[in-house]
Amino acid sequence: MSVQSARKVYLKQSSIFLVMLFLLQGCQISNRLSPDSSSLESLNALAWIDREGNKEHINITPRNYIYAQLSADDKQVALNSRDKSSDIWIYDLELESLRRLTLDPSSNIGPLWAPDGRLAFTRVIDGTQELVVQAADWSAPAEVLSILSDNAKYPSSFSADGNTLIYHTSTFGYDMWSLSFDGDNKTIQELSANPDQRETNGALSPDENWIAFESDETGQLEIFVSPFPNVESGRVQISIGGGSRPRWHPSGNELFYINQDEPALTGALMSVAIDNTSGFINAAPNLIFENNFIAPNAGRQVYDISADGQRFLMIQNESQRNR
């Protein structure tokens, strides 16, 4: 073989090696984002959808949004965007402006508004996770609420005074806990301890007497409601045929959830009338609308409810936006 031919073979092999190394590194980067990473190529946007299914598109730059949470005054949306990194963003609905909240190199996921305008979220550092609360206007430094550990931790609901946070963690399977904090004083309480079951996405009712959550005790995720804080004292199944991501109407007289179509990564938004004037009574679920929003993973809060309970903030992919 000539020197020139040998050089061509060497260069070809080197090129193949570099391509394989690039692909391997790309996989490692995407896997480090978080335990529930999404495709980096997905471009989603936001829309208001009312109870009749009428859509109002929101003028926001499409990105890989997978969480969307409204502030208490309906003026801002906290978003988790999974692009080259996983960060928390805030969109101002009046100014139509988008800004990045988390500027550190770690992955940040699962934003949740506190009543005082701060945001709780999960920070992922080298595969370990901690709960953090951050002022949305950067007026105060981020406060770490939990110890850094290998257990997954996802915030799901705040009490009205903002001093108690409901979250679920993978300490024993997936169970719900409450974290009460006042300055440096922090108290945690286990709300559910069923290692053979997944009990997640706990949502406090507006009067804080009840907590709605998802559990797979029947073999699939369904929505249940239990007294709060004595969650193990009893439960009522709310959903039929599957349910995830419960959200209360601000009045407390209605409960919403998603009946997920997992293969299609979408689902149906369902409503259940609630009467808790004396005990707890629920009606049968009713369909509001379906197949016009994304629902990629049962752990992600992909929608929220306006303060008047009449419109729903949903994440849509490109095909859903163009229907």
**Summary mean pLDDT of the chain:** 86
Q: Are residues 136 and 14 in the same domain?
A: no
168, 172, 199, 249, 282 from 236: Cα distances, Å: 20, 23, 14, 18, 9
Q: How many domains does the chain have?
A: 2
State the pTM of this model. 0.85
pLDDT given at position 193: 77
Q: How far is CA 226 from CA 11, 153, 158, 199, in A?
A: 66, 21, 16, 12
Asked whether residue 68 falls in the same domain as residue 116, the answer is yes
Query: Residue 235 is part of a domain; what is its CATH number?
Result: 2.120.10.30
> Looking at the structure, do residues 58 and 15 belong to the same domain, yes or no?
no
d(CA 79, CA 70): 9
Q: What pLDDT shows up at residue 147?
A: 81
Round to whole Å and give the CA distance between 179 and 215.
Answer: 20
Average pLDDT over residues 116-138: 94
Helices (H), 177-273: none
User: What is the rounded average pLDDT of the residues 189-218?
Assistant: 93
Considering the chain, what percentage of its residues have pLDDT values greater than 70?
87
* Claim to verify: residue 252 and residue 269 sit in the same structural domain: yes
Q: At residue 295, does pLDDT exceed 80?
A: yes
Looking at the fold, whether 44 and 23 belong to one and the same domain comes out as no
pLDDT digits (tens, 9 = 90+) for 55-84: 999 999 999 999 999 999 999 999 999 887
Residues 8 and 150 placed together within one structural domain of the fold: no
Same domain, 12 and 122: no
26-30, 236-240, 262-266: segment of lowest average pLDDT:
26-30
pLDDT in tens, 91-100: 999 999 999 9
For 275-288, write each residue's pLDDT tens digit: 988 889 999 999 99
Amino acid at 153: K
User: Token pair of 216, please?
Assistant: 């797979």
Residue 41: what pLDDT?
54
Q: Which domain holds residue 250?
A: 40-321
Q: Is residue 11 domain-shared with residue 155, that is, in the same domain?
A: no
Same-domain pairing of 13 and 78: no
Are 218 and 93 members of one domain? yes
Q: Are residues 25 and 131 in the same domain?
A: no
**Could you give phi then psi for residue 5, rounded to 5 degrees?**
-65, -45
Do 152 and 171 lie in one domain? The reply is yes
**Of 17 and 92, which is predicted with more confidence?**
92
